[in-house]
Amino acid sequence: MSLLVLLAAVFTVSYADNSATVQMTKLHEWSGNFEGHFILPINDGDLIGWEAIIKFSGPVTNIRQYVGTVKRSSKDNTLILMINKPDKGIVKQGGSLDIQIGGNYAGSTPLTATADIVDLSHDTQTVPTVPNTDGTKYNYDEVLMKSIMFYEAQRSGKLPAGTKTRIPWRGDSALKDQGDNGEDLTGGWYDAGDHVKFGFPMAASTTILAWSLLEYKDAYEASGQLDYMYDCIRWPLEWMLKCHTKPNELYVQVGDPGPDHGYWGRPEDMTMARPAYKLTTSKPGSDAAAEYAAAMTVSSLVFKDKDPAFSQKLLTHAKQLYDFAEQYKGKYSDSVQKAAGYYRSNKYEDELVWGAAWLYKATNESKYLKLAEQYYETGPDWGQSWDDKFSGNMIMLYRLTKKDIYKNDIEATFTDWMPGGTVPYTPKGLAYRLQWAPLRYAINMAFMAFLAADSGLHADEYRAWGKKQVGYALGDTGHSYVVGYGVNPPQRPHHRSSSCPSRPAPCSFADQQQSGPNPHVLYGALVGGPSKSDTYTDDRKDYVSNEVACDYNAGFQAAVADPKPTGFGGVYRHALPWLGEGLLIAGGSRWARSRRLLTPAFHFDILKPYIAVYNDCAGQLSKNIERFANTDASFEVFNLVCLCTLDIILRCAFSYETNCQENSGEVHPYVKAVNEIAVTWSRRNRMPWLFPDFIFYRTEEGKRFSRNLSVCTRGSGGRHRQTEKYTDLTNRKFLDFLDILLTAKDEDGNGLTKTEIRNEVDTFLFEGHDTTASAISWILYSLAEFPEYQTRCQQEIDTILKQNGNTEIQWEDVSKLEYLTQCIKEGMRLHVPVPFIARTTTKDIVFDGHTLPAGNFCTCHIWNLHHNPEVWKGPETYDPNRFSKENLAQMDSFAFLPFSAGPRNCIGQHFAMNEEKVVLAKLLSK
C-alpha cells in the first residue's frame, strides 16, 4: 500500500471535534532552510492527542520539529505522517496547537504546505439507545447493558471479531501471557484501572455474576442482554480453565504489579515483562483454588442447558480444584507475595464453605454439604466482598438446609447493616462500611439482601433497603456513580486504557494528569464512591474514590438484575402503582413462581363450593334489576352487574361480605375508582407526554389517579389485614383465594411476601369483577336483541332446574348449560372483555420470512381477531351457533381468545365462566 493511500485511509476513519486542514504560516526561509507553523485553534473541547498528515509542495530534507514523532514519510518527504509526542498532545480548549517544523528546501519557488490535523481525543463508539419500557425510575435495561460493556472493556487477549465486541477503542493485548512452561495464559480480565490479571478477585467476580444469571436469568433475557451475559462470564471462565494446568497446580496471577502500576498507557502497547504466578502443593492457596471451584460450579449450572459439554468441563475442573484447596491448606497471598500488597487474603475457610456449598448444589453429593457445614463459622458478617464470602455462605446454606443457625446469622448480619446497626451511614443514606470504594460493599450487601428476601426472610424490609443502596449509586443523590449512565455521571475514572487518546497517539502519565474527561467513555463502570459526608470529586488521580474494578461491578450488576421488572412494560407499566407485580404485570421467574403458587386456588375442588355464592349474589342482582324494571325508567345495568361481580369476588376470594349490592342505587366507591383508573390508564397510554411520572402526577388526571389508587388499596386491604395472621383453616366452609395466598409455599418452603400477597389481591379484585361484569352486561344486551336465543336459553335452564327440583343452579348443572355456554362465548367474541393484550419478545421470532427482534413490545388485538372476516363469517352478527359442538370441532384453537392464550392465559377463566353461567342462568330463570 502506498503512503498516500495509507494516509488517506487513516484520515477518513478518524473522528474528531477539532480536526481541520490548516496552512503552513509564519514561513521563514534562508539559505536553503525553512521554518513554518501549523496552528490549529482548539475550540471544541480539550485536545488530548493528535496526528498530522503534512503535505509539502516540494521535496524537503532534514526535517526538524519538536512536538511530534514522525511515523512514516514518502522518500522525498512531501508527505509526512506525524503523531504527538507523549507530553505534547494536550491542549486545553481556548488554546492553540502549534506544530513548528523546519528543514531544508532546494526549490526555486516558495514552499507551501498543508496539514490535515486529526483530533484523537475521541473514539467512534456509539451506544444503542435503550428505551425504559419498564417505566421504572432508573432504566435497568440500560444499566445491565452498560455494566456488561464494562467487562468487555476489561478483556485481555485476542478479542472476538465482528458484532461480538462493542468496544471499538480496545484491541488485542497481552498475547504472550504464558506460564512457566509456556502454557497459554492469554485471556481473562484486567483487574481494574491497571493491566494485572489477579485471579482471586476475578474468580470472585465471576461467581457473583454467574449467580446473578442463575438467579435472575429472566431479567437478562427481558433486557436483551442474555447472550452478551453468557459471553461475559465465559471470557474469564475460559482463562481460569487455562490456569488449571494440573490437578494440583493453578495460576492465579499474570503481571507484576510494580512495573504494571508504573506504566500509564494502553494494554495494547505494553512492553514490560509479565510473569505468571501459580499455586502448587508446596505453595498452596485454598482461598483462590476454592473460589475458582465456586465460579466454575455455579457457571456449570448456568451453562447446563446452553452448552452441556462446557458445563461438564467446568464441573470436572471444579471438583479437582476443590480437592486441591481442601487437601493443601493455606492462603494464596502467603504463597504469591506479589499479590499480597493488593489482594491480601484474610482467611480461606469461607472459600472452603463457598466452594463446597456450590458443589453440593450442583452434584447433590452429601460430602460437599458436610464439608461446607464443617468449615462454616457462625456470627454476623462484616460484608460480602472478593475476600469475604460469609454472607453468601449463610444464604446458600440456609437455602440448602433451612437450618436456623444460618437464618439467625443472616438476620444478625442485616441487623448490623441496616440503620441503627454497627455500620455507619452517610447523611444521604449510603451504608458506609469502608472509605476505599464504599459503594462496592453497600451494593454487594444489597445483592445479598435481595437473595435473602427471595429466600423468604424479611422480604419487604430487605428488598426496600437493597433498592435504596442501588438507588444511591444510580442517582438518588443528584448524580450517578456509574460511568456513562444517568445524571452527571463520572467522566474521569482512574482507568488507564479509557484515559488514553485514540491510537496511534501515545499515552503516558500526562494523560493521567490532564483534567478533562477520559477520551473514551468506560460505559457501565461503577466508581468507588463518596466520602462519609456524601462529597465526591471526579478526579482521575483519586484511586480510592474514582477507580473501577471487576469486583465493584459484579455485585452492582447482580443487584441491578433483581429489582429490574421482568413483566411486559409498555402499557402495563402505568398500572404498576395500582396492581404491582401481580400475575397480570410480573414476568420471568417471578411470574412463573407466583403462577405455580396460585394455580391450586382455581382447582375444581376449590371452585365447587363457590356455586352457592354465585347463586346468592345473582339472586340479589335479580332483585335489584326487578326493582328498577318496575319503575318503567331506563337504568344502567352495568353498574348493577358490577356490584354483583364485586360481591362475588369479595366473598369467594376473600370471604369478605360487604353487602355492597344493597345500596344498588349508588355506584360503589371501589367500582367508581376502578372505572376512573381504567379510563386514566387508557388515556395515558395514548399520550406519550404523560409517560414520565414526574409530569403525569403533576396533572389533574395524575392527582385523580392517586386519589383513586388510595380508594382501591383501602378497599382491598381490609380482608388482607384481617386474615394475614390467620392460619387455622380446619373449620372453614371452603378455602378462598386469600387462604391459598397465605399458606402457599414454593419448592424451597418459601411463601409469598406481604407485598406479593397485596399485589395478587389487588390484581384479582380488579380482574375478578370488572371484565366479568363487562361480559355479563354485553351478553344480556345481545340476548335482549335476539329474543329467540334468549328463549332457547330459558328453556334449557328451566329443563335443568325442573329435573333437579331446585331453584338454584348446582355444580353438576354448570356443564349441562350447553346452549347458554354458546351464547356466553359468542357474546365474548362480539364484545371482547379485554380488547387487546401485549407482550415483549424475549428472543427473535421469524415468521413469513420476517424477523421480529428480541426486546420488541407487541400488542395482540383480540377485538380485531374476533371481528376478522377471514376468521369469522359475518363477524358483526351475534350467532351462538358458531360455538356448537360441530363448529367447535372445526375451529382453529387461536380463533377465539377471550382469556388470552399460551402459558399466560387467564388463570381464573374457569372461575369466570362458571360465574357467568350461574349469574345469567339465575337472571334468565326469572
Residues of the binding site for heme: 906
CB-hemisphere CA count at 13 Å for 159?
22
Catalytic: which of 37, 195, 494, 831?
Answer: 494
What are the Cα distances from residue 182, in Å, to 186, 242, 278, 726, 774?
11, 12, 13, 68, 75
How far is Cα 326 from Cα 836, in angstroms, rounded to an integer? 59
How far is Cα 256 from Cα 898, in angstroms, rounded to an integer? 67
Q: Are 652 and 615 in contact (CB under 8 A)?
A: no
Catalytic: which of 152, 349, 538, 756?
Answer: 538
| Chain position carrying cell 512457566 | 180
Buried b (16+ CB within 10 A) or exposed e, 334-355: bbbebbeebbebeebbbbbbbb
Which residues are bridge partners to 54 per DSSP?
A: 80, 115
Q: Are 770 and 591 in contact (CB under 8 A)?
A: no
Q: For 425, which DSSP code?
A: B
Transcribe 398-439 into DSSP letters: HHHH--HHHHHHHHHHHHHHSTTSSS-B-TTS-B---SSSHH
How far is Cα 417 from Cα 411, in angstroms, rounded to an integer? 10
C-alpha torsion sign, points 644, 646, 649, 652 = negative
* CA of residue 83 relative to chain centroid, distance: 43
Nearest to 636 by CA among 675, 578, 689: 675
| Chain position carrying cell 383513586 | 708
Q: What values do phi and psi take at 648, rounded to 5?
A: -65, -45
What are the Cα distances from residue 53, in Å, to 68, 90, 720?
12, 18, 76
Q: What values do phi and psi take at 278, rounded to 5?
A: -130, 160
C-alpha grid cell for residue 622? 335479580
User: Reduced to 3 states, what is the DSSP secondary structure of residue 347?
Assistant: coil
Q: Is 494 assigned a catalytic role?
A: yes
Q: Are 317 and 241 in contact (CB under 8 A)?
A: yes
Transcribe 131-163 into DSSP letters: --TT--SS-HHHHHHHHHHHHHHTB-BSPPPGG
How far is Cα 417 from Cα 424, in angstroms, rounded to an integer? 8
Q: Is 547 assigned a catalytic role?
A: yes
C-alpha grid cell for residue 697? 402526577
How far is Cα 287 from Cα 490, in angstroms, rounded to an integer? 34
Nearest to 510 by CA among 502, 521, 520, 499: 499
User: Reduced to 3 states, what is the DSSP secondary structure of residue 777?
Assistant: helix
How far is Cα 921 from Cα 913, in angstroms, rounded to an integer? 12
Catalytic: which of 547, 581, 739, 756?
Answer: 547
How far is Cα 111 from Cα 116, in angstroms, rounded to an integer? 17
Interstrand relation of 20-30 and 276-279 (parallel, antiparallel or unpaired):
unpaired
C-alpha grid cell for residue 74? 514518502
Would you call 733 exposed, middle or buried from its count of C-beta atoms within 10 A (0-12, 13-18, 19+)? exposed
> Could you list the active site residues?
494, 538, 547
